[in-house]
Amino acid sequence: MISEVSSFATEHGVPDKVLIGLIGADIQRSKSPYLHEQEAAELGFKLHYQLIDLSRIGKGVEALPELLSAAEACGFAGVNITHPCKQAVIPYLDQLSEDARQIGAVNTVVFRDGKRYGHNTDWSGFAEPFRRHFAADDLQRVVLLGGGGAGSAVAHALLVAGTRELVIVDQDARRAATLAARLHGFFPDRQVTGSSDVGQAMPAASGLVHATPTGMDGHPGLPLPEALLHGDLWVAEVVYFPLETELLQLARQRGCRVLDGGGMAVWQAIGAFQLFTGRQPDTARMERHFRSMIAAQA
């Protein structure tokens, strides 16, 4: 397991490189290595981004303590964290940013001075493209599909943006209710509820955000019955591969205003890059690189 983390460092040496990585399951198609390595090259320094794929090493979240220790020992500046580890990693960290504490999920761990600092750049990653596209749209009642790590971050971003009523829908009703109660504690002037019944939640919605794996490569389909989509909705997607999910295709056909998941993918990487390297990336350039890469692979 440690060799999964240390292979690059052992083969190439690390003194003149920033080493970072991604811990998660089924991550071989992640765009993070390209985004981080390309931007570092543009800024004139070397960076290597290592995929630490739990699926490849046959492990689950129980491997987190050993993987984090191995990354530290190999001189990593930090690691990104993705499904299914965003909440499971928290007990192994020394300190959380305020945002990560409120969200209850971490997607970026920085190693500094012998300590592990947990951050969440998913929420700001969603917030920036959302602000650009839907700043003037109705935030009176928003339905969020998915209460996992990504959904928790998106829920936080929606409340920061001014959503008055947020309904979190998850197949696990208890998880939805727990997240709703946590967020209501930080936003007591908002109505935040959890549900497992999307049919009941949707009729009065002004906006819909999708934050489950449905629609991504290998998980085709719609996350809700198509009859629940109406043209007065705005619809935002977290899935970014493919950019045009079945949900977005249908939403466009219904006349909805839509936002794909590419912006969140880029802006969470921008935030993580700053935390790992202390350098300010060119945000427009990172967006261009991402869109070009996706277009080339389509």
Residue type, 119: H
Taking a C-beta distance cutoff of 8 angstroms, is the pair 156, 183 a contact? yes
Comparing CA positions, the residue from 107, 120, 125, 144 lying closest to residue 27 is 107
Q: Report which secondary-structure segment, H or E, holds 47.
A: strand 46-53
Residue type, 109: V
- Helices and strands of the chain, counted as H and E runs: 12, 12
The binding site for shikimate consists of 30-32, 82, 107, 122, 240, 268
Can you tell me the distance from the alpha carbon of 223 to that of 275, in angstroms, rounded to the nearest whole number?
33
Catalytic residue among 17, 46, 59, 86: 86
The binding site consists of 30-32, 82, 98, 107, 122, 146-150, 238, 240, 261, 268
> Could you write out the DSSP letters of every residue in 143-156?
EEE--SHHHHHHHH
Can you tell me the distance from the alpha carbon of 280 to that of 257, in angstroms, rounded to the nearest whole number?
31
The reply to whether 46 belongs to the active site is: no
The binding site for NADP(+) consists of 98, 146-150, 238, 261
- Cα four-point dihedral sign 38, 33, 275, 288: positive
Burial of residue 115 (CB within 10 Å: 0-12, 13-18, 19+) is exposed
Q: Specify the 3-state DSSP secondary structure of 156.
A: helix
Active site residues: 86
